[in-house]
Amino acid sequence: MNMNALDLFTNPTEEKIDQYESILGEMQQVDLNTTHSVSGGVYSRTIFIPAGVSLVGATHNKDHINIMCGDITVTTDTGMKRLTGYNVFATKAGMRRVGYAHTDTYWTSVIHTTETDIIKIEEDITPDSHKLQTRMAGITSNVTNFLGGN
């Protein structure tokens, strides 16, 4: 099957997302400048998605909250949507997103965890931790903030 981005964004399926992820994986990767914050059993992971970047997210193990600011077309529980401005919304466990940033976009996931080590947190929140950009060679922008209130 030929991968057609318009078809993917019109009718996303797990198979199409897998194929798109494979195609994107062969391209030069854009550093999403991941920032981690940990406090009081809560982990936040913020990425910066530059305008024009398409991406596939990891499958989520846990329900959590997303905070997004920018302009991105992304899979949601009700299909593809273009989100603009500031948005706060939930993600259910098992969800995997695909998106395209129309303008520079910040995306923060806020997730409960009992872990404090970033590697262990990543393994706790997704079965796809090995695919995360923070695990890729050559991606160096990775900031961790341990905030008070543990």
> At residue 7, does pLDDT exceed 80?
no
Q: What is the 3-state secondary structure (H, E, C) of the chain?
A: CCCCHHHHHHCCCHHHHHHHHHHHHCCCCCCCCEEEEEECCEEEEEEEECCCCEEECCCCCCCEEEEEEEEEEEEECCEEEEEEEEEEEEECCCCCCEEEEEEEEEEEEEEECCCCCHHHHHHHHCCCHHHCHHHCCCCCCEEEEECCCC
pLDDT: which is higher, 109 or 10: 109
pLDDT score of 2: 42
Range among 4-8, 27-31, 45-49 with highest mean pLDDT value: 45-49
List the end-to-end C-alpha distance of the chain, in Å, as a whole number: 49
**Euclidean distance between CA atoms 111 and 64, whole angstroms:** 5
- Assign domain 30-143 one CATH number from 3.30.230.10, 2.60.120.10, 3.40.50.150, 3.40.640.10: 2.60.120.10
Q: 31 pairs with which residues across the strands?
A: none
Percentage with pLDDT > 70 across the chain? 81
Residues 67-126: tens digit of each pLDDT = 999 999 998 888 889 999 999 999 999 988 889 999 999 999 999 999 999 889 999 998
> At residue 150, does pLDDT exceed 70?
no
pLDDT score of 24: 78
Model-wide pTM > 0.75: yes
Range among 35-39, 85-89, 143-147 with highest mean pLDDT value: 85-89
Confidence of residue 13 (pLDDT cuts 50, 70, 90): confident
How is the chain split into domains, by residue range?
Answer: 30-143
Q: What's the full length of the chain, in residues? A: 150
For the chain, give the mean pLDDT. 83
Mean pLDDT of 6-18: 69
> At residue 132, does pLDDT exceed 90?
no
